[in-house]
Amino acid sequence: MQEPHPQRSTEAVLISEVGPRDGLQSVKATMPTHHKRAWIDALVAAGVQEIEVASFVPARLLPQMADAAEVARHALTHPGVCVMALVPNLKGAEAALHAGVHKLTMPVSASEAHSLANVRKTREQMIEEVRAIARLRDEIAPTVKLEAGISTAFGCTLQGAVAEDDVIWLAEACVKAGADESGLSDTTGMANPAQVKRLFTRLRRSLGSQAGAAHMHNTRGLGLANCLAAYEAGVRTFDASLGGLGGCPYAPGASGNVVTEDLVFMFEAMGIETGIDLARLLAARLPLSAGLPHEPLYGMTPEAGLPKGWQPASSRQAGLPS
């Protein structure tokens, strides 16, 4: 496996595009495989360096993901791109490892109610699942990274508030069980910037470089504000979904991943490099729409267009007038 993100500045961020997994598994229609390939190609052409390409789950549960291995193998033909897959359990991890992905992400819910509703397992059982996946990874593909994504980290539509101590305990437990990093997900769109800053600060204090990505939702319009707060707490990897596709089908009332286009606009406008060409990213909506012609796409930047005199972060940092 290549090193996917060489020589990033300490200010630069990594935008992890989760649309092909999180977006596509949340819509009813199934995107045909060749459209998935074309969409991933367009994302890579825009400069996206990390893509969650699929979820390795039984096709009877998520027919949208029946072609996970094929899509992963296609994504792996792009050099320098980190190909991620979501795995809900050991069986999914085995399939994803055999497909050759670079990174596994395993959702583990901080809310016991959500965990039981979503995967019918307690949090302790999920920690054991992480341990089993880490062992399998060590045996058959030791260079593959494993991230635990702590879901419902900022609140749960089923149980309401989630104790911050529980979130940190679970994130630490997953790393102790063998995950390379633990990130935090606002699965239900309940996070606020003060909470985001507080929790990620605690997470980074506790886990250091093993503190993972911020996965924010725009359910109540706070997606970008929460990403900004996470950035200020030191987070440098952000999940987002092109066109805001997706959410969490198992958390009633939750919807709306952060829109990749708006997130990239925010960081680039701030002079923080994403490595992504915004005009090409907007163009990547075309293959997405072609593959899902009846699905609404979101995003304010795509609607408004780039402002007059737009300059990406790289030009700003090169000292050109801004």
Q: Residues interacting with a second copy, by CB under 8 A?
A: 155-161, 188-190, 192-195, 218-222, 224-225, 227-229, 253, 255-256, 259, 262, 265-266, 269-272, 299-301, 304-305, 307-309, 321-322
248 catalytic, yes or no? yes
Indicate the residue among 221 and 319 with the shorter CB distance to a second copy.
221
Token pair of 252 as six digits:
């009633």
Q: Which is nearer to a second copy, 131 or 220 (CB)?
A: 220
Rounded to whole angstroms, the Cα distance separating 162 from 36 reads 36
DSSP string, 292-321: STTS----HHHHH-SPTT---HHHHHTT--
Helix, strand or coil, per DSSP, at residue 184: strand
How far apart, in whole angstroms, are the C-alpha atoms of residue 190 and residue 197? 14
Estimate to the nearest angstrom the gap between the alpha carbon of 62 and the chain centroid: 18
Which is closer to a second copy, CB of 57 or CB of 240? 240
Least distance to a second copy, CB of residue 189, Å:
6
CB of 198 to a second copy, least distance (A): 10
Select from 33, 47, 36, 46 the least CA-distant residue to 287.
36
**Residue 206 Cβ vs a second copy, minimum distance, rounded to whole Å:** 21
Partners of 116 in beta bridges: none
φ, ψ of residue 12 in degrees (nearest 5): -65, 155
Q: Which residue, among 180, 165, 190, 172, has the nearest Cα to 248 in the 3D structure?
A: 190
Q: Shortest gap between Cβ of 100 and a second copy (angstroms)?
A: 36
Q: Shortest Cβ distance from residue 71 to a second copy (Å)?
A: 29
Report the alpha-carbon distance of residue 29 to residue 257 in Å, rounded: 18
Phi, psi of 293 (to 5 degrees): -60, -20
What CA–CA distance (Å, rounded) separates 136 from 138?
5
Give the C-alpha separation, 27 to 102, whole Å: 26
Decide whether 50 or 261 has the Cβ nearer to a second copy: 261
| Distance (Å, whole) CA 247 – CA 253 | 10
**Please, what is the minimum distance in Å from the beta carbon of residue 83 to a second copy?**
28
| Cα atoms in the 13 Å half-sphere on the side-chain side of 85 | 32
Q: Which of 156, 174, 227, 248 is catalytic?
A: 248
Give the span between the Cα atoms of 167 and 206, in whole angstroms. 12
Q: Active-site residues: which are they?
A: 248
